[in-house]
Amino acid sequence: FGKEVLHFQRVGSTNQVALELARKGYPEGTLVVAEEQTAGRGRWRRPWLAPPGKALLFSLVLRPSLVPYRVPEVTLVTGASVARAIHEHTGLRVGIKWPNDLLYEGKKLCGILVEMEAAAEQVNYLVLGIGINVNQERDDFPPELQDTATSLRMILGEKVLRLPLLQRLLEILEDDYQEYCRDGFAPSRERWLGYQVTLGRRVRISVGGKEFSGEAAGVAEDGSLLLRLPGGDLISCNSGEVVLCR
């Protein structure tokens, strides 16, 4: 990954740029990095905000041979790769909230947004977008996020170099992705389970406008969250926004 690199001072969204490059035929592993995004996007059409030069903001083009319904697996693979890279680079043990929010002591450290272009049966290309809060300080976050977001610098009390973190992360992502393509989801699922902080917790999840509460009981073989409802029924959620309850 990262043989072809496009580095921008300022861009709308690295995911948007990477999607356009993928459409033009840029190869797997093409990396788009930005110091600043003016239209950074998160899941559920939320904006993703970061001051210039402080976060790691990048997107990767992937061309897996995959049916579209397996794409959520790739997002879990990615979460586990990022958790490992952060651990190696900083010694911090971050937790993954299903499907792929990286948290430290309950506060969000990193978000992952996977977007794709697919025909009915086949993914044409995927873009993995990753935003890691590296050197932000508390005041760099908008007031409404100051109690729920954190950065590596806020946790460690010192600045963290972004480039070596990115380089190690790209190596880990490439290894994990190749293993996923070769051996399927099972090995990544095991790694993901080692980082997750969702299972066994009471959670609320909103799926397509509906809210469910229950216990996060497990993660299925395809990465779906299994939720045990108060009546005992088990439902499977393949996407959704989870809130961990106390």
Interaction site with ligand BTN (CB under 6 A): 13-15, 37, 40-43, 46, 48, 57-59, 101, 111-113, 129-131
Q: How far is the CB of 167 from ligand BTN (least distance, A)?
A: 17
DSSP 8-state symbol, 41: B
Q: Are 196 and 219 in contact (CB under 8 A)?
A: yes
Sheet with 101-104, side-by-side order of all strands: 5-11, 31-37, 56-62, 123-132, 107-118, 101-104, 95-97
Q: Residue 26 has what DSSP assignment?
A: P
Nearest distance from C-beta of residue 25 to ligand BTN, angstroms: 21
Q: Which is nearer to ligand BTN, 2 or 42 (CB)?
A: 42
Secondary structure letter of residue 185 according to DSSP: S
In the complex, what is the shortest distance from the CB of residue 34 to ligand BTN, in angstroms, rounded to a whole number?
7
Q: Which is nearer to ligand BTN, 64 or 111 (CB)?
A: 111
CB of 42 to ligand BTN, least distance (A): 3
Q: Please, which residue, 59 or 230, has the CB nearer to ligand BTN?
A: 59
> Phi/psi at 2 (nearest 5 deg)?
80, 20
Nearest-CB residue to ligand BTN? 111
- Of 15 and 81, which CB lies nearer to ligand BTN in the complex structure? 15
| Shortest reach from residue 172's CB to ligand BTN, in Å | 17
- How far from chain centre, in Å, is Cα 148? 17
Closer to ligand BTN by CB, 111 or 223: give it: 111
In sign, the C-alpha dihedral spanning 75, 76, 81, 87 is positive
